[in-house]
Structure 1
Amino acid sequence: MPNYNYSISPDDYFGSDSPCTLDNCKVEWSILGYRPDLAANIAFIALFGVVGLAHAYLGFRWKSWGFMAGMLMGCLSEVVGYVGRVMMWNNPFSFNAFMIQIVCLTIAPVFYTASIYVTLSKTIVFLAPELSRFKPQLFYWIFIPFDIVCLILQAAGGAMSTSSDSSVGVDISMAGLILQVIVIVLFIVAFGDYMFRYWRSGHAANFGWRLNTFFAGLSASIILILTRCIYRVAELKDGYDGDLIKHEIPFIILEGVVIVLAAIALCFGHPGLVFNKSEYTNGVSQSEKGVNLSGLRGSSENTVNN
């Protein structure tokens, strides 16, 4: 039987020197207010591990090193984050476990979006760069630096939120998440505008299964990541005293399941499906890209090297 110590001050429920454990403090006193579900978090560790291995295989197969690096960093961060939640199942008051999960799970999708930004900028070069309103390289010269800022803000905020002045850390994390939402929305608008112009030019009628699969995977992943970021903003808007952060089911669905699906979708939105030179002949034909139509450059100018 637990022997709850009601003399412990609420200010001491959380922190590196907190005396609380499940033996002397109620789980409701912990920062999350619940004991993370062990089975669900182990499942996410396994799922992200498998997806990471799948991306490693695809990366080596198609030699898409940059995309693979981003995906592996994201999956590894997810695995470590859920290990932190498993540690919190053992002790919901663990300061180190909370720090691991809040930092790693918060920043992981940033690595996925970086891979998406670079891939879709290459896609414009591959299809018809002259239809873009600005140089395709600007996609990653603009969006990647913002992605790095989001990463820094979210990581710093997560680390600071585990200190005594958690409100400042929460505000910094919120700034990073809100910025990420804005950047993703702007990216969707910019790339959507390009695809509309490409479709209006008539080239999209030549798309085969590879390009359709590629765009479906990338579109699904970016929308799923945006959904997750909006959820995390709502979760943190009232800090760690808010109502949403005290409920695990929304977290499991809108953080865990949504990001697993996004990572899986990026297996189908993999650049190797379209860009790898060895796949051009048997995969994406020149007419499928639309490069044989009027107004487009020769295929030699549209080839993208990984």
Structure 2
Amino acid sequence: MLSILSLLASTAGAQSSANGTDPTIPEPTIVSVVFRYNPNKIVAGVAGGLYIIASVLLFIRLFANRTWWGLCLPIASTFMSIGFYMRIPMAMYPNSLPIFMIQQLFTILPPAAYLAFNYILYGRFIVQCVDRRYSWIKPEKVAKYFVISDITTFLIQGGGGGMQASTNTTSDKLGADILLGGLVLQTLSFAFFMILVFHAYRKIVNDGIRPSQEHWGTILWTLFFSSTAFMIRCIYRVIELAQGNGGYLMTHEVYFYALDSLPLLIGISTYIFYWPTRYFEPKTPTDMYALQP
């Protein structure tokens, strides 16, 4: 995740450099230093609209099925739509720190909730549809472990970003490495989750069960499909950060939408058509309520 501190530091440095060399050159703004482009207001509005539609439909699914444990998905989608809409005033006021911070936070943080939804879904699927022995990790603990992992890697990224704000060149380089390392660890953590899902699938198949012939098989398919979409976004973020501030991916808005926003939208929209609780098959009352909050 991009660090607000390091961005402000680079902006201040750029402004100082511009003022000291040629007073006729416009002072660089936060947006121009970070993105090197002016956000397209029309595209931002369309993206925000699509996420609002997705949010409404997900809320309808959630309330219709009384799936309160899944609130994190439509709520995060709503916040992300706000983040896209904030790109419109950000383009109009490119040096407004409050607008920039809100836009960044509302587009960077919600994906963590999308991943959390998949973690929770996996645990409930194992308990309610198949058997706990198919999971490497206790299904009741999967969401807890992976959410803790995400929080830990997030803090690592924050620490690295804070070091980037230092005027010390060594600290700046180390901070960038720590920031990238945290993002790589986060991506590897989610990759392990995908392996966990695939492992469960293989064990189920090895027992002679064909998920495609089971009512709950749709849950496995949606988990695979949405997780793959989310992984595309994770890999994009790693490559983007590895290129550094001013890299090709970061300075071309089309990639932000094509490799970040679109995969996430596709991933969460899968649940609009295939809301998971419609495919749950509780075996016993104990299993049915084992994961109730």
Q: Do residues 144 (structure 1) and 147 (structure 2) align?
A: yes
Whose helix proportion is higher, 1 or 2? 2
1:11 to 6, 10, 13: 13
Q: Do residues 74 (structure 1) and 69 (structure 2) align?
A: no
- The equivalent residue for 1:50 is 53
- The equivalent residue for 1:201 is 207
Q: Do residues 248 (structure 1) and 253 (structure 2) align?
A: yes
Q: Following superposition of structure 1 onto structure 2, how do residues 22-37 of structure 1 map, counting pairs within 5 Å?
A: 24=26, 29-37=32-40
- The equivalent residue for 1:223 is 228
Deviations 1:89-135 (A, max 9, x none): 21334333332222221221100111110110111112122333442
Q: Which runs of 5+ in 1 are unaligned?
A: 1-8, 15-22, 276-283, 287-297
Q: Following superposition of structure 1 onto structure 2, how do residues 141-290 of structure 1 map, counting pairs within 5 Å?
A: 141-152=144-155, 156=158, 173-204=179-210, 207-208=213-214, 210-275=215-280
Q: What letter corresponds to residue 198 of structure 2 in structure 1?
A: G
- The equivalent residue for 2:19 is none
How does the TM-score come out when normalised to structure 2? 0.78
Alpha-carbon distance change, 158 to 40 in structure 1, aligned in 2, over 3 angstroms = farther
Q: What letter corresponds to residue 113 of structure 1 in structure 2?
A: L
Separation in structure 1 between the aligned mates of residue 87 and residue 59 of structure 2, nearest angstrom: 25
Separation in structure 2 between the aligned mates of residue 85 and residue 162 of structure 1, nearest angstrom: 25
Identity of aligned residues (%): 23
Deviations 1:127-159 (A, max 9, x none): 1223334422231232121133345556x4798
Q: Do residues 63 (structure 1) and 69 (structure 2) align?
A: no
Please say if residues 79 and 110 of structure 2, whose CA atoms lie closer than 8 Å, have aligned partners that are also in contact. Answer: yes
Deviations 1:212-236 (A, max 9, x none): 4332222111111111011011111
Q: Which runs of 5+ in 2 are unaligned?
A: 1-10, 17-24
Please say if residues 224 and 262 of structure 1, whose CA atoms lie closer than 8 Å, have aligned partners that are also in contact. Answer: yes
Q: What letter corresponds to residue 141 of structure 2 in structure 1?
A: L
- The equivalent residue for 1:19 is none
How does the TM-score come out when normalised to structure 1? 0.75
Give the number of aligned pairs.
267
Q: What letter corresponds to residue 119 of structure 2 in structure 1?
A: Y
Q: What letter corresponds to residue 303 of structure 1 in structure 2?
A: M
Please say if residues 49 and 76 of structure 1, whose CA atoms lie closer than 8 Å, have aligned partners that are also in contact. Answer: yes
Q: What letter corresponds to residue 234 of structure 1 in structure 2?
A: I
State the superposition RMSD in angstroms.
3.2
